[in-house]
Amino acid sequence: MILMRRSRAMTCLFLNQLVFHLAPSHSHNASSTCKSSRSFYYSLAKNAWGSTCPISHPAVRSFASNSSTRAMQSMANPESITYLTQRDAAEIDEILMGPLGFSVDQLMELAGSSVATSIAEVYKPSEYNRVLAICGPGNNGGDGLVAARHLHHFGYKPFVCYPKRTAKPLYTGLVTQLESLAVPFLTVEDLPSDLSKDFDILVDAMFGFSFHGVPRPPFDDLIHKLVYLHKCNQTRQKSSVIVSIDIPSGWHVEEGDVGGEGIKPDMLVSLTAPKLCAKKFSGPHHFLGGRFVPSSVVEKYKLHLPPYPGTSMCVRIGKSPQVDISALRENYISPEFLEEEVEANPIDQFLKWFDDAVAARLKEPNAMCLSTVGKDGKPSSRMVLLKGVDKDGFVWYTNYQSRKAHQLSENPQASLLFYWDGLNRQVRVEGYVQKVSDEESEQYFHSRPRGSQIGAIVSKQSTIVPGRHVLHQQFKELEEKYSGV
C-alpha cells in the first residue's frame, strides 16, 4: 500500500488477482425464467495479501430522456421561455394566494430557498463566503431574509442590511430566525462606501415586480453603491458579485434598465416565471426558482417553463458561461492521515473509508472507474457500480458482449478507481480478473427485477442498433412472453 499524504490517496495493488463480475446490464424487470446466457462474472483470484477482489457493475444508463432533452433545449434557447408582464405576474400571485391556497410565507420560503440554491450552484462558499443581503420593506425583502437564513445553513457567512423593517409578524419572525443564528444586521451607516472590501456576494432584495416609482432614501443610495461596485469590478481581477432577486432593483419591470445606468447583476434569479425585463439581462447567470406553479396556472397563462432537474429548486436559463479550464482550482483541506492509522489489510482500510463515504451521504459512493486494455494495447475506461466487496475482492456486473468484457477476455488485468470528492479521498485497485461461478452469475441475474432482466437481454452492449424502436419492440415481445410467469 502506498500512501500519498497530499492527495490523501490509498493505492491497493492486487498483484495476483482482482474479482471482476460481469453481468447483464440496464434496468427493467424479467422473470426468473429469463436466461442470463449473455452474462458472465469475473472473479479475482488470490492477491498479494491472500485475499481476492470481486468487481461488479449494473450497466450503462441512458440520460437522454424526453424531459432532459426539453430542459437542454430550454436552457439553450431562453426565447422559448415565457416572460411575464407586470400585470400577469400580479394576477398569478393573486391566484396562488387566493383559490389555490398558498400563503405569503409559503411562497416567500420557496422563493428564498430557490435564491440560496441558485447562489450555491455557482458561487462556492469556499471562494465567496461573505454575503450581504440588502432587503427592502416588501415581499422581495422577505425573500432576501429567507435566502440569508438558507445561505447560513449552506456554509456561507451572511450579513443583512434591512433599513426599513416591516412590523408584520411574518417579517419580525424572519428577523428573529436570523438573530437566533447570530446573523449580523448592519445599518446603512455601517456599510463601507466600497462594498467589495467586506463582501463577496451582494444580494439585491430591495424591490420586486410590484414596485412603482423612483427609489427613495436610503434605497437610492444603496442602489448607487451596487452600480458603483459594478464599475469598480471591471478593473479588478477578483470582484464581488451581485445577485438580484426577480427584478434588479430600480429596473422597470417590463422595459428593464431604461437609462442604462442601473444595477448590472451577475446573477438574476427569476421567480415563478421570468418577467419581461429579464430579456434585457446580460449577466452570465440567469436562474428560475419557484418549483410550485400548478398546471392550472401554466395552462391559463400558456406558460413555457424549463423542467427542473432532479429534486432541484432552481434551473438555469440560457447556456452556462465559458470557463477557463486552466484557472479552475480547489484547495483540498483534509484531516491528517498518518501511517499508524492505516489498517494492516487494505480491504479493511477500503471498507472503513467506504463506510465514511456512505455516512457522508455522498452520491453513489459505490461508483468506480473501471479501466481495461485489450490485445491491441489501447486502454478504455468507464464508470461502473461496485456490487460487493469482502476479503475475496470486489464485484461488479456487465454484459458478456460489452467492450470491457471482450477486453478482459483478451487481457485479464484491470484497474479500479474510487473517488470520493466530499472526503478528498481516492482509492486505486489493480490486479488480475477472472470470472466468478456460473451459479453466482445466475443468482445475481435472477435477483434483479423483471424489467431489469428483460432490459439486460434486449440491450446488446457496445453494438450498433437500427434505432430505439427496435429495442422497445424486443422489450415488449419479451415482456409479453414472460407476463404469466
Percentage, residues of the chain above pLDDT 90: 58
- Inform me whether the pLDDT recorded for 438 exceeds 70: yes
Q: Is the pLDDT of residue 78 over 70?
A: no
CA 385 to chain centre: 19
Give the cell for residue 297.
Answer: 396556472
For 136, 268, 379, 415, the CA distances from 376, given in Å and listed in that order, are 67, 52, 9, 17
Give the mean model confidence (pLDDT) for residues 449-466: 75
Q: In what order do the strands lie in the sheet with 185-186?
A: 185-186, 157-161, 130-135, 201-205, 241-245, 267-271, 285-289, 314-317
Alpha-carbon distance of 76 to 78, in angstroms, equals 6
Output DSSP code: residue 322: P
Q: Is the pLDDT of residue 8 over 70?
A: no
Q: Given this model, what pLDDT does residue 89 score?
A: 96
Q: Is the pLDDT of residue 5 over 60?
A: no
DSSP 33-68: TS--TTEE-BB----TTS---B-B---PPP---HHH
Measured CA to CA, the distance from residue 318 to residue 286 in angstroms comes to 7
Q: Are 127 and 201 in contact (CB under 8 A)?
A: no
Compute the C-alpha angle 329/245/261, nearest 5°.
90
pLDDT at 32: 35
Q: CB-based contacts of 48: which residues, under 8 Å, 6+ apart?
A: 13, 14, 15, 16
**Residue 469 burial (C-beta neighbours within 10 Å; 0-12, 13-18, 19+):** exposed
The mean predicted confidence, pLDDT, of the chain is 82
pLDDT given at position 67? 41
The Cα–Cα gap between 355 and 361 comes to: 10
List strand residue ranges (DSSP E) for 207-357, in order: 241-245, 267-271, 285-289, 314-317
Mean pLDDT of 159-170: 96
Q: Which range among 10-14, 267-271, 460-464 shows the weakest confidence by mean pLDDT?
A: 10-14
Q: Which of residues 198 and 43 earns the better pLDDT score?
A: 198
Higher pLDDT, 477 or 206: 206
Helix 86-97 to helix 104-122 angle, to the nearest 10 degrees? 120
pLDDT of residue 65: 37
Q: Is the pLDDT of residue 42 over 70?
A: no
Judged by average pLDDT, the poorest of 73-77, 153-157, 233-237 is 73-77
296 alpha carbon, distance to own chain's centre? 29
Say if residue 237's pLDDT is above 60: no
Give the model's pLDDT for residue 228: 86
Q: What is the pLDDT of residue 425?
A: 92
Split at pLDDT 50, 70, 90, the class of 252 is very high
Of 170-174, 256-260, 453-457, the range with the lowest mean pLDDT is 453-457
The three cell numbers locating residue 319:
447556456
**Using alpha carbons only, what angle is made at residue 91 by residues 88 and 93, rounded to the nearest 5 degrees?**
110
pLDDT in tens, 214-231: 889 999 999 999 998 877
Phi, psi torsion values for 168, nearest 5 degrees: -65, 150
What pLDDT does residue 437 have? Answer: 79
Look at 127-141, 278-292, 407-421, 455-469 and tell me which has the smallest mean pLDDT: 455-469
Residue 26 has pLDDT above 60, yes or no: no
The string of pLDDT tens digits covering residues 364-396 is 999 999 999 999 999 999 999 998 898 888 998
Does position 36 have pLDDT exceeding 70, yes or no?
no
Q: What's the confidence (pLDDT) of residue 234? A: 60
What pLDDT, on a 0 to 100 scale, did the predictor assign at position 11? 38
Q: Residue for cell digits 383559490?
A: 99
Of 300, 305, 276, the C-alpha closest to 289 is: 305
Asked if omega into 137 is within 30° of 0 (cis), the reply is no
Q: Which residues pair with 242 in a beta bridge?
A: 202
Q: How far apart are CA 302 and CA 318, in angstroms?
A: 20
Separation between Cα atoms, residue 123 and residue 66, nearest integer Å: 30
d(CA 413, CA 383): 17
C-alpha cell at 485: 410467469
* Nearest residue to 55 via CA among 401, 402, 418: 418
